[in-house]
Structure 1
Amino acid sequence: MSVNALSTRLWRERELLDLLQFKLEEQQLLLISGKSQWVGHAAREIETVLEKLREASLSRAVASSWVAAELGLPDDVTLAQLSAAVNEPAWREVLTQHLHALRASASSITSLRDTNSTYLRSAQRAAQESLAALDPDPSGPDGDKGPRLLDTSL
């Protein structure tokens, strides 16, 4: 397998990372706008992209292993080590650019994931508080439940 084949696989992985970033931003917009009915759909789309990304990552790892073997390197070599070992300056530059782009994408995706997790926790907390307000625990004597937003005793 050639460096060209590895580069092709890296491009595919980058495209999927871009798609993942888009899907996370889409999820964030849904959370911010309060369109919680669509958050489940967004989560499923994110899972689909993650599955494709796992497959692409495995394909890239196989290609990296082949190129590493051709260069006399161990098959668990990192992309940074691989790009440094490539003899042709043009391919060294291409692999280095892939590495920088992958790192930038990973950083953006991590930030989006963390922000979305915060929004999701806030939405879950708000939903729990709303449900608790609809059905309060017994608080008065003789099991009197006190005031209710919904009268369920009918």
Structure 2
Amino acid sequence: MSANALSTRLWRERELLDLLQFKLEEQQLLLLSGKSQWIDHATREIESVVDKLQGASLSRAVESAHLASSLGLAGDVTLTQLAAAVEDPAWREVLEQHLRALRDSASTITALRDTNSSYLRAAQRAAQESLAALDPAGSASSTDTGPRLIDTDL
């Protein structure tokens, strides 16, 4: 196996990470705009990309193990170790660039995921507070003199 084959797998993984970032940003825009009816769709799309990413990651791991074996290394080496072991400086640079791009993507995706989680928790709290203001019959409680979620005075 070759560095070229590994690079191809890394490109696929990077493409999927870009798509995941896009889907997370899309989810964030839906959350910020209050378009909650589309959150389930966005979440399913994110899960679909994550599933594809897991397959691409496995494919990359297999290719990494093959390259490591051809270089006389253990199959469980890191991408950093592989890049250092490749004799051709051009391929070393290519693998190092992939590594930097993967780290940058992971950092961005982690920040987006954390932000979106905060927004989702805030939306859930707001919904729970609104529902708590209703009594079991679905009308505002008698002690509540503020605006009502459901107008029952029709």
TM-score by length of structure 2 reads 0.90
CA RMSD between the two structures:
1.7
**Corresponding position of 1:21:** 21
Aligned-partner Cα distance in 1 for 2:143–2:40: 34
1:72 partnered with 2:68: no
1:47 partnered with 2:43: no
**Secondary structure, counterpart of 1:8 in structure 2:** helix
Deviations 1:94-148 (A, max 9, x none): 0000000000000000000000000000000000011111227xxxxxxxx6346
**Corresponding position of 1:103:** 103
**Corresponding position of 2:124:** 124
Aligned-partner Cα distance in 1 for 2:89–2:53: 28
Q: Percent identity?
A: 76
Pairs within 5 Å for 1:78-93: 78-93=78-93
Gapped regions of structure 1 (runs ≥ 5): 137-144
**Corresponding position of 2:133:** 133
| Amino acid in structure 1 at the alignment position of 2:42 | A
Give the superposition deviation at 1:29: 0.2
**Secondary structure, counterpart of 2:133 in structure 1:** helix
The 1:119–1:66 alpha-carbon spacing in structure 2 relative to 1, beyond 3 Å, is same
| Amino acid in structure 1 at the alignment position of 2:122 | S
**Corresponding position of 2:142:** 146
Gapped regions of structure 2 (runs ≥ 5): none
Shift >4 Å, 4+ stretches: 147-152
How many residues get paired?
Answer: 145
TM-score by length of structure 1 reads 0.90
Deviations 1:40-89 (A, max 9, x none): 10000000000000000000000000000000111000000000000000
Aligned-partner Cα distance in 1 for 2:61–2:5: 12
Aligned-partner Cα distance in 2 for 1:27–1:77: 35
